[in-house]
Amino acid sequence: MYKELALCLAYERHTAGQIPVLIMSSFEDADTEEMVTCLQMTLYHPGHQRSGIFRSIKFFNREKLPTSEVVKFGRNSHTCNYIFQDKQVSRVQFSLQVFKKFNSSVVSFEIKNMSKKTSLLVDNKELGYLNKMDLPDKCMIRFGDYQFLVEKEDGESLEFFEIQFSLSKKPLLQENNWLSQEPIPECGSYSSCLTQNNSPMEVGENEW
């Protein structure tokens, strides 16, 4: 309707001897696309410069994914969305899945440890194999020598979300003054990280 009105006005001016003017409707130019929730993930591993552990990951690009997708991180290129070029990493190390809390207009994420040999630290909470928990809006994910700083930017869309990666050359624990702990060994765990009031939930092996 606005385009037709603009053409009519331009035509009337032209027929009256005026120079035709292109009239743009602000309604046409308005971007009606919903804002998309974005996970900003900053990655660090001391061996990346030497061995290119993160070379399969595209940094600084926002990748849009459907909220129905379970996003997997690990070594298996056939199974995982994001690959770590490291034989010490499990085929699937951990996964992220979108959900929406009751009475909330934005999406949230839960994280699940998919590795049988390595525990996963989310801030100071330890996740064993198949344990899962809500992902805080800002948190540190760690296993072995890997450090991931995750920050969630809320959006409106319930259909899609985005992930954007950046790379840190320095340990994120020191850069962000995070709670200092020794890295989780490739085979082993911290037994004292769990608390009774806010502990991760154990799920069945076939639950996604």
Cross-strand pairs, 152: 39
Q: Quick: pLDDT tens for 39-77.
A: 999 999 999 988 899 999 999 999 999 999 999 999 999
Predicted confidence band of residue 179 (pLDDT cuts 50, 70, 90): low
- pTM of model > 0.85: no
What integer is the mean pLDDT of 14-21? 50
Give domain limits for the chain. Answer: 1-32, 36-173
Model pLDDT, residue 30: 47
* Lowest mean pLDDT segment, chosen from 41-50, 145-154, 157-166, 199-208: 199-208
Q: Which two tokens stand for residue 143?
A: 């296993």
Q: In which band, very low, low, confident or very high, does the pLDDT at 167 lie, cut at 50, 70 and 90?
A: very high
Query: What is residue 111's predicted lDDT score, i.e. its pLDDT?
Result: 99
pLDDT at 195 over 80: no
Residues 6+ apart with CB under 8 A from 121: 127, 140, 141, 142, 143, 181, 184, 190, 193
Reply yes or no on whether the pLDDT at 27 is more than 90: no
Residue 128 per-residue DSSP state? -
Neighbours of 201 (CB within 10 A): 12
Contact 94, 169 (CB under 8 A): no
Mean pLDDT of the chain: 81
Domain 36-173 has CATH 1.10.150.20: no
Q: 120-122 and 82-83 as β-strands: parallel, antiparallel, unpaired? A: unpaired
Q: What is the 3-state secondary structure (H, E, C) of 17-66?
A: CCCCCCCCCHHHHCCCCCCCEEEEEEEECCCHHHHCCCCCCCECCCEEEE
Query: What distances in angstroms separate CA 98 from CA 16, 19, 44, 108, 165, one per listed residue?
Result: 59, 55, 24, 6, 18
pLDDT > 90? residue 157: yes
CA separation for the pair 140, 122 (Å, rounded): 6
Residues 70-129: tens digit of each pLDDT: 999 999 999 999 999 999 999 999 999 999 999 999 999 999 999 999 999 999 999 999
